[in-house]
Amino acid sequence: MLKQIEERFEISRAGMMKIIKDFHSEMGKGLAGEASSLKMIPTYIEPPTGKEKGEYIALDLGGTNFRVLELDLYGSRKTGAARMMKFALQKEHITGNAEGFFDFIAACVELFLKKHKLSGAGRLNLGFTFSFPIKQTSASSGILMSWTKGFEVKGVVGNDVVKLMDEAFARKGINNVRISALVNDTVGTLAAKSYRDPKCDVGVIIGTGTNACYPESLSKIGKWRGPGNRTGKMVINIEWGNFNKLISTSYDKELDERSANPGRQILEKMVSGMYLGEVVRLVLKDLVPILSKEKSFETEYVSAIEADKSKNLIAVSGLLRRLGLPGTALKDRVIIKKVCAMVSRRAARISASCISAIVMRIDPKVSGKHTIAIDGSVFEKHPAFSRNMKSALREIFAKKASMIKLTLAKDGSGEGAAVIAAVAASA
């Protein structure tokens, strides 16, 4: 039975080429404003040139922990070391009202400015990474479409989050900070790496959620009705988690039906850390009926199990004991490890296929070098994810795979927001 299940999770080279073809089709439709599973959202942001200079502030808000940082750009693709402070939002903040929520964040920014003696400085441009679903209306404004990640702050959905943040700054008397750019974490990751590396043209998140972005020629964004810009390019937020031209197994369908958003975020449900552990659990339920409770198998367990190279899978045994499963047989532990490997390998091959599609859109013959900036816990911490992605790229591109470099851009979204603030301020 395991062999049959493994076959359902395997994606051949032909399967990856089909993903690339379908991804290209959806990209084209999304850019033209036609119905597509890829939103292809214009961000109003140009890619950095590497020549931007000055001192910039960033506010990186993507969950209950957030960061405020300062970054000096030297204009020659070099930066100073970021100065940073981390803060935590409490339950009363994320379930309260808009004023209390933004006032708390403003108070943290005020504390940062005082600590680093920036309160009395001249005007500071701030980049605001806000990693929730936003309808961007300009480089420095965006309407919150819905909260995610357990946030339920009242009075924010349907409103411009930059305006709400500016109002909180005014209430705190922070008069020398101007929010010049609103970005999501994927765009920030691309900006942070591409400022230093001119070959970086794709930003990817593979963590709790997953997404990607890249710079597109304005002339190829059929739905764009805005003005031109200096570079003739704009970063496109693909929102690839919603890509739905993938072959689903019965386990994927079961997970999707039980999810809070059935029929949506199909790629995310096969790739991201929010769901990988549950896919593994659903498969194991048929093979080793020991994990019956829904969402009881975390994605971090997948990484830990695949990292166990011991003959008797001692670490796997210990993990299962902590989950209330003492005395598991070695044959069951072997099956569990194989299932983890097949689910994570599929996720890596899907990710590599979609990255390949983006690279081919930018450079159809892959005649130049491309750096892919990737952030996120799955890519960073899973012991085989990066290796599986590189293997898939070699299958797709053969020798030309050497033109594509996957690089970890850890916590790039904060520094990237500062870089984008510089880009927007100089526009």
> How far are the Cα atoms of 11, 37, 343 from residue 306, in angstroms, in the given order?
20, 32, 11
Per DSSP, helices labelled H in 173-235 are 185-196
User: What pLDDT shows up at residue 413?
Assistant: 87
Q: Could you give the CA distance from residue 357 to residue 26 in angstroms, rounded to a whole number?
A: 11
Domains 1-42+197-409 and 44-183 share a fold: no
Fold of 1-42+197-409: Hexokinase; domain 1 (3.40.367)
Q: Residues near 326 by Cβ (< 8 Å), separated by ≥ 6?
A: 320
Which tens digit of pLDDT belongs to each residue from 209-250? 899 999 999 999 999 988 888 889 999 999 999 999 999 999
Give yes or no for residue 175 having a pLDDT over 80.
Answer: yes
| Mean pLDDT rounded to a whole number for the chain | 94
Give yes or no for residue 290 having a pLDDT over 70.
Answer: no
DSSP per residue over 104-117, as a string? HHHHHHHHHHHHTT
pTM of the predicted model as reported, rounded to 2 decimal places: 0.93
3-7 long-range contacts, CB within 8 A, separation 24+: 5/249, 5/283, 5/286, 5/287, 5/339, 5/342, 6/338, 6/342
Give yes or no for residue 326 having a pLDDT over 90.
Answer: no
Give yes or no for residue 295 having a pLDDT over 80.
Answer: no
Q: Could you give the CA distance from residue 98 to residue 153 in angstroms, rounded to a whole number?
A: 6
Average pLDDT on 151-178 reads: 96
User: What pLDDT shows up at residue 194?
Assistant: 96
User: What pLDDT shows up at residue 323?
Assistant: 87
For the chain, the domains span: 1-42+197-409, 44-183
Give yes or no for residue 63 having a pLDDT over 90.
Answer: no
Q: What percent of the chain has pLDDT over 90?
A: 84
- Cβ atoms of 374 and 413 within 8 Å: the answer is no
Which tens digit of pLDDT belongs to each residue from 74-97? 999 999 999 999 999 999 999 999
Q: Could you give the CA distance from residue 127 to residue 237 in angstroms, rounded to a whole number?
A: 17
Q: Could you give the CA distance from residue 362 to residue 385 in angstroms, rounded to a whole number?
A: 24
Burial 168-194 (b: 16+ CB within 10 A, else e): bbeebebeebbbbbbbbbbbbbbbbbb
Q: Which option is the CATH number for 44-183: 3.40.50.2300, 3.30.420.40, 3.10.150.10, 3.40.50.300?
A: 3.30.420.40
Which tens digit of pLDDT belongs to each residue from 341-353? 999 999 999 999 9
Backbone angles phi, psi at 175, to 5 degrees: -105, -5
Backbone angles phi, psi at 154, to 5 degrees: -80, 145
Which residue numbers are catalytic? 67, 131, 185
Q: Could you give the CA distance from residue 360 to residue 134 in angstroms, rounded to a whole number?
A: 28
pLDDT-derived band at 1 (thresholds 50, 70, 90) equals confident
User: What pLDDT shows up at residue 100?
Assistant: 96
Which tens digit of pLDDT belongs to each residue from 106-140? 999 999 999 999 976 688 999 999 988 888 889 99
